A and B are shown apart, each in its own frame.
Chain A
Amino acid sequence: MNLSATDLCLTVDGVEHLRNVTATFQPGRLHTVIGRTMAGKTTLLRALAGLQKVDSGSLTRAGTDFLKTPVWRRDTAMVYQQFINYPHLNVFDNVAFPLKRAGLSRDEIRRWVRQSLASVGLADFERRKPSQLSGGQQQRVAMARALARGTGILLLDEPLANLDYKLREQLRDEFKALFSDRGDTIVIYTTTEPAEAMMLGDVVLVMHEGRILQTGTPQEVFERPATTTVASIINDPPMNIFAGRLEGGRVTVAGFQATHVSAHLADLPDGSYQFGLRATDVSLASSGVEGEVTFVEISGSETFVHVVVGEAPFVVQIEGIHDVALGDPVKLRLRPDRLFAFDEQGTLVRTPSYDLASVEGR
């Protein structure tokens, strides 16, 4: 029972929220929709749930016209970015609410609610009101309610976006376990974070300005990003994209010339290209392209150095925490063997070989 969207379009006040969105969502798989804020992810979920009318296009499930099915009969559960629960009901009744509507018996309701609350680690909070819970706990209640009913479609709209960094990390791991055996539920999960999309998704859909740019397994999307836009969305920090020339398999960018011919680029015709290089494939070195440090960001365990070379901005990712002073001149080493080549319109033409999955650690 696939859920198939074809050419969904929606324009509100001159802004195109959905542009010919075509996608098939399969039972038993988790689909992550990744895109920046305002990419149309939420609109897509709301359209699938029936909360948002579309201008044109079709939506079918098991041969029925889903667009004509009212919200309350769509067999769909949703978890919102904001922690939405019924404020007047305690945790137990919140989770029981959809079950009561479905007409389950008292005992069944109790069993399902207990099981569902246990799975999100809230077994001891049955009598609390949502307002007496922390943000993370509130989102767990919402999860439990969505899971308890066992709907055919489960939509999650950036469920971790409003949580603390550590809680996000923790819940991401919990979600992975929760989603691992959802039977034949169609799960669709939106996020802005590449790591989340990659680690949770069976299928990744990359969305930008209302369009779906690419659909594939996490590996496919990450290793073969169809366009520069996809490459920048699926990488965190975004992939460094810069214009350059290729002559005889040799790359020339302002101030940088590959010393080695990169094998994977050797058979490409000479000409102008856009090149992409991940932040992990650029490093600070004693010799190389000269640039100036404009900003340094530190996550818990990585240092991101923002360097400007001439006019072109680069991000360098270094493992561990390093003290780099702003305004310092630095030299960058770019790895030619890791270059992605895109044509001038931004379409992928060559990718570095990642056929290393079977190679044991070197």
Chain B
Amino acid sequence: MRSHLYPVFKYTVIALWACFVAGPFFWAMTTSFKNANAVQGGPTYIPWVQYKPTLTGWRNIFGGAGGIDVIDPFVNSAIITIAASAISLALGSLAAYALSRYRFRLGFIKNSDIVFFFVSQRIMPPVVLVIPFFYLLQWGGLLDSIPGLVIVTVALLLPIAVWVMVDFFNGIPREIDEMAMLDGCPPFQTFVRAILPNSLPGLTVAAMFCAVFGWNDFFFAFRLTFTEVQTLPQAVVALNSSIPPWWTLSAAALFGVAPLILLALWVERYLSKGNLSGAVR
């Protein structure tokens, strides 16, 4: 029998972990309203009580003096994330559909090997890829441009899209495809009319992962763009290089992670419905 202390133990553990998870956000939040004096005075947490809050940090990130402008990097990041995610989802679901429905055989290579090829690309460390990418983009005149960054980001995201969608398509009965074909749809129409409309949960999960990994990429942007295009993570990290204006850094960081935190709310909905389960196995 469970002891009466079990609930106490349970909620204590949950609360401790919640503090750890929320701590950095709380710290960033409180710091973003400080100024140099408040920061230099040692760690304080509660505005008005322990320090006098100012909006300096927040002003700085929107082009205030001595700060940066996060709007342009934000737009760049959004464009790159959305474009790369869309391309990856489109190419990824087509390929995943083929791998889930048809049998491929090329010598000893089977379907599972092709899936493995896709997924295994996640193992490539960005640092290994970045030098050749540099020369590749330079050769194509795409260095320091949005299209260039989109192309390399696709390499990061395509494996994720294929991984999620193969599992998802495997969960849709083949009879649905067969029925659509019997009903007069050639293969491509079958995919578009019968399968895609039933794949929304899978596409959502894949899009979520793509958005997370696309938005959060730093290394490629860091080494393949310089002056013309700057992404949001780059802009924030740039603040960190010299003597850190912590308040600006904190405000910029919160601004940078906010869009995806909203995403977490949405993901949880899918989780409760059990839609994610297919992607896990």
Interface residues of A (CB under 8 A from B): 49, 51, 70-74, 76-78, 80, 82, 84, 86-89, 97-98, 101-102, 145, 149
Q: Contact check, B182 vs A76: say whether CB atoms are below 8 A apart.
A: yes
In angstroms, Cα B192 to Cα A86, docked, is 13
**B178 on the A face (CB < 8 A):** yes
Q: How far is the CA of A102 from the CA of B175 in the complex (A)?
A: 20
Q: Which of B173, B176, B182, B197 contacts A72 (CB 8 A)?
A: B182
CB–CB B178/A78 < 8 A:
yes
Do B175 and A87 have beta carbons less than 8 Å apart?
A: no
User: A214 to B112, alpha carbons, bound, how many Å?
Assistant: 42
Q: Are A101 and B198 in contact (CB under 8 A)?
A: no
Q: In the complex, A77 Cα to B198 Cα: how many Å? A: 21
Whether A84 pairs with B184 at a CB distance below 8 angstroms is no
> Which residues of chain A are near B194, meaning CB under 8 Å?
86
20 contacts between A and B (CB under 8 A): A51-B181, A51-B182, A71-B178, A71-B181, A72-B181, A72-B183, A72-B184, A73-B184, A78-B179, A78-B182, A80-B179, A84-B173, A84-B175, A84-B179, A86-B179, A87-B176, A89-B197, A97-B180, A97-B193, A101-B189
B185 at the binding interface (Cβ < 8 Å): yes
Chain A residue with the shortest CB-CB distance to B178: A51
CA distance A97 to B180 in the complex (A): 8
**Which residues from B are CB-within-8-Å of A74?**
182
Instruction: Chain B residues near A145: list those with CB within 8 A.
Output: 183
Nearest-CB residue, chain A, relative to B183: A98
Q: Are B179 and A72 in contact (CB under 8 A)?
A: no
Q: Determine how close the nearest CB of chain B comes to the CB of A154; give it in whole angstroms.
A: 11
Residue of B nearest to A149 (CB): B183
- The listed residue with most B CB atoms (<10 A of its CB), out of A76, A98, A102, A149, is A98
Contact A102 B178 (CB under 8 A): no
A86 to B: closest C-beta gap in Å: 6
Interface string of B163-202 (1 = CB under 8 A from A): 0000000000101101111111110010001100110000
> How far apart are the CA atoms of A98 and B180 in the complex, in Å?
8
Q: Is the beta-carbon distance between B182 and A49 smaller than 8 angstroms? A: yes
What is the bound-complex CA distance between A172 and B279, given in angstroms?
40
Complex contact B176–A71 (CB within 8 A): no
A101 near B185 with CB under 8 A, answer yes
Contacts of A82 in B (CB 8 A): 173, 175
What's the Cα separation between A84 and B181 when bound, in Å?
Answer: 13
Contact of B197 among A71, A88, A102 (CB under 8 A): A88
Q: Please tell me if the beta carbons of A70 and B173 are within 8 angstroms of each other in the complex.
A: no
Q: Which residues of B contact A80 (CB under 8 A)?
A: 175, 179
Residues B198 and A71 in contact, CB atoms below 8 Å apart: no
- Interface residue from A73, A84, A101 paired with B176 (Cβ < 8 Å): A84
Which chain A residues lie closer than 8 Å to B182 at the CB level? 49, 51, 71-72, 74, 76-78, 98
Tell me the complex Cα distance, A86–B178, Å.
11
B198 touches A72 (CB 8 A): no
The distance in angstroms between the C-alpha atoms of A84 and B177, with both chains bound, is 10
Which chain B residue has the least Cβ–Cβ distance from A142? B179
Q: Are B178 and A72 in contact (CB under 8 A)?
A: no
A71 to B180 CA separation, bound complex (whole angstroms) = 10
Q: Is the CB of B175 within 8 A of A72?
A: no
**Once bound together, how far apart are the Cα atoms of A85 and B198, in whole Å?**
12
Contact assessment for A70 and B183 in the assembled complex, using a CB-CB cutoff below 8 Å: no
Please state if B184 and A102 are interface contacts (CB–CB under 8 Å): yes
Q: Contact between B184 and A86 (Cβ–Cβ < 8 Å)? A: no
Residues of B within 8 A of A51 (CB): 178, 181-182
Known: A84-B173, A87-B198. A70 touches B179 (CB 8 A): no
Q: Is the CB of B186 within 8 A of A88?
A: no
Please name all residues of chain A whose beta carbon is closer than 8 Å to the beta carbon of B183 when the two chains form the complex.
72, 77, 97-98, 101, 145, 149
Contacts of B198 in A (CB 8 A): 86-88
When distances are taken between beta carbons in the complex, the residues of chain B under 8 Å from A97 are: 180, 183, 193
Q: How far is the CA of A361 from the CA of B271 in the complex (A)?
A: 67
Q: How far is the CA of A89 from the CA of B179 in the complex (A)?
A: 14
Q: Smallest Cβ distance from B175 to chain A, in angstroms? A: 4
Interface centre among B173, B180, B181, B193 (most CB of A within 10 A): B181
> Would A86 and B176 count as touching, CB distance under 8 A?
yes
Question: Measured between C-beta atoms, what is the minimum distance from B246 to chain A in Å?
Answer: 51
Residues of B within 8 A of A49 (CB): 178, 182
Chain A residues with Cβ below 8 Å from B184 are 72-73, 98, 101-102
- Note all chain A residues with C-beta closer than 8 A to B176: 84, 86-87
CB contacts (< 8 Å) of A88 on chain B: these are: 197-198
Closest 4 CB pairs of A and B: A101-B184, A98-B183, A71-B181, A88-B197
With A72-B184, A86-B197 known, 16 other A-B pairs at CB within 8 A are A51-B182, A72-B186, A74-B182, A80-B179, A82-B173, A84-B175, A84-B176, A86-B176, A86-B179, A86-B194, A86-B198, A88-B197, A97-B193, A101-B185, A101-B189, A149-B183
Q: How far is the CA of A71 from the CA of B194 in the complex (A)?
A: 15
B contact residues around A102 at 8 Å (CB): 184
Inside 8 A of A87's CB, which chain B residues have their CB?
176, 198
Contacts of A76 in B (CB 8 A): 182
For B178, the chain A residues whose CB sits under 8 A away are 49, 51, 71, 78
For residue A98, which residues in chain B have a CB less than 8 angstroms away from its CB? 182-184
Question: Using Cβ atoms and an 8 Å threshold, which residues of chain B touch A77?
Answer: 182-183
Contacts of A71 in B (CB 8 A): 178, 181-182
Query: A49–B170 Cα gap in the complex (Å)?
Result: 22
A202 to B179, CA, bound (A): 26
CB distance from A257 to the nearest CB of B (A): 55
Select from chain A the residue with minimum beta-carbon distance to B173: A84
Q: Closest B-chain residue to A77, C-beta based?
A: B182
Interface string of B189-226 (1 = CB under 8 A from A): 10001100110000000000000000000000000000
